[in-house]
Amino acid sequence: MELLSVIRRWHHRDRIPIREIERRTGLSRNTIRKYLRSDAVEVRFKVPQRPSRLDPFADKLSEWLRVEAGKGRKGRRTVR
């Protein structure tokens, strides 16, 4: 569910006060006011592209998973 559209619908169509929207969503009143004033369609956060700490081991892990998938139920390793 798109949170921004829900907030706008509650405020404009259902006439729910900002304080009630705050209680329902857990967002601050300032954030809700900002969303109501903006013309944005949906809130987008910039997430920087970072390498994973597992990237150097990805090939080895994939190989282990492939080998373990071929074993029987009792022969597989568990998460532990």
Would you state the pLDDT for residue 1?
Answer: 43
CA 47, CA 38: separation in Å to the nearest integer? 21
Residue 42: pLDDT band with limits 50, 70, 90: low
**Is pTM beyond 0.75 here?**
no
Give the N- to C-terminal CA distance of the chain in Å, as an integer.
36
Domain ranges of the chain: 3-37
Ordered alpha helix ranges (H), 1-80: 3-8, 18-25, 29-37, 58-69
Number of Cβ atoms within 10 Å of the Cβ of 31 = 14
As a whole number of angstroms, the distance between CA 63 and CA 69 comes to: 10
Whether residue 31 has pLDDT greater than 50: yes
